Amino acid sequence: MKFTAQQIAGILEGDVVGNPDIEVSKLSKIEEGFEGSLTFLANPKYTPHIYSTKASITIVNKSFVPESTIKTTLIKVDDAYLAFSKILEYYNAVKYNKIGIETPSFISDSAKYGENIYIGAFSYIGDHVVLGDNVKIFPNVYIGDHVTIGDNSILFAGSKIYSDCIIGNNCVLNSGAIIGADGFGFAPNDDGSYSKIPQTGNVILEDNVDIGAATTIDRATLGSTIIRKGVKLDNQIQIGHNVEVGKNTVIAAQSGIAGSSKIGKNCQIGGQVGIAGHITIGNNVRIQAQSGIARNVKDNEVLQGSPALTLTGYNKSYVHFKNLPIIVKDINDLEKKVNGNS
């Protein structure tokens, strides 16, 4: 789909400087711009590229004044970065605006769905499933019995939702995400073997939740594993049974949260963080990458290390750790002097 500079300026409430009728159909980086592409300039260090870019249209701040001749048509806006983000959202909305039911696919006779849905080929929709308006289900998606999915949610190819789970409005599940698999529940027997504990609960994703590719969220043993409104989970994250993740918390890739732990709202958790089971993390907590959390954490703490220390404590300790060989040598030398004088 092609858009003119004038059409894009209308979407962004910007002003065109140059040819209002020039068309673009692709997006590009400013340093890699090509004819027919749209780019943007927000970071001053990329300013030299605007004089050489081959992009047909460039979004810039209203404060930008060219210092020499430029070939690209400009669209001037209040904030070029936010404006380009808006265009990316619009581009995705157009790109993924598929409607209809492809074949072959299986849809149970008892399933219900709203308007403007898309169900891709080889998808499976189980008994008593309820799909809201504008739901997009890409090929090879599995949706188990009694699942509810809210309006405008998108399930990308290969994602799986087990029975009884609830997905809110405006959620995104990327490829390979698994929602509602059995929690890791086993009871040890006297002979050293293990018996499986039935996992009878479900998973609830509230509105505006994003789930990364290959991320798994286990169903609760009893009750629900709950991912609150606005949570953003990166790729390859493991969320255990009966975990609760608070509103607007973000978690980076390869992190793991063991069963029954509670994470507060507005937390920022780095990559490869491990959180033990049955603990509580407060609100507004920040945890640095590769940290290990095995204790309750109060609101607003900033942690690093394994086992995690406060960030200030970790940094102070790390200074001494780097100097450990020198410190050990000094202690040994001191012992020799003491022993020699005794």
The residues spanned by each domain of the chain are 3-95, 100-314, 317-342
Do 3-95 and 100-314 show the same overall fold?
A: no
Residue the block writes with tokens 């009966």:
242
Strand (E) or helix (H) holding 324: helix 324-341
- At 27-46, the pLDDT tens digits run 999 999 999 999 999 999 99
Looking at domain 3-95, which CATH architecture does it have?
A: 3-Layer(aba) Sandwich (3.40)
Per-residue CA distances from 87 to 93, 190, 281 (Å): 10, 62, 36
- The reported pLDDT for the residue numbered 196 is 94
Mean pLDDT score of the chain, rounded to an integer?
94
342 pLDDT band, cuts 50/70/90, is low
- Cite the active site residues: 241
List, for residues 90-105, the tens digit of each pLDDT value. Answer: 888 777 888 999 999 9
Neighbour tally for 240: CB within 10 Å: 21
Instruction: Please indicate whether residue 335 or residue 222 has the higher confidence score (pLDDT).
Output: 222
The alpha carbon of 130 is separated from its chain's Cα centroid by a whole number of angstroms, namely 25
Measure the CA–CA gap between 47 and 45, rounded to whole angstroms.
6
Domain 100-314, CATH number (from 1.10.3720.10, 2.160.10.10, 3.20.20.140, 3.40.50.300): 2.160.10.10
- Min mean pLDDT across 120-129, 261-270, 305-314 is at 305-314
Tell me the pTM: 0.81
What is the 3 state secondary structure string of 102-147?
A: CCCCEECCCCEECCCCEECCCCEECCCCEECCCCEECCCCEECCCC
Residue type, 252: A
Query: Residue range 147-175: average pLDDT?
Result: 98
Q: Which residues pair with 136 in a beta bridge?
A: 118, 154
Going by C-alpha positions, the residue among 121, 193, 112 that lies closest to residue 147 is 112
Confidence (pLDDT) at 311: 78
Which residue matches tokens 């907590």? Answer: 285
Average pLDDT (45-69) is 95
Exposure string for 316-337, b = 16+ CB within 10 A, e = fewer: eeeeeeeeeeeeeeeeeeeeee
Tens of pLDDT, residues 280-325 = 999 999 999 999 999 999 999 999 988 777 778 778 877 777 788 8
Query: What residues have CB less than 8 Å from 193, skipping those under 6 apart?
Result: none
Helices and strands, number each (H, E), in the chain: 4, 40
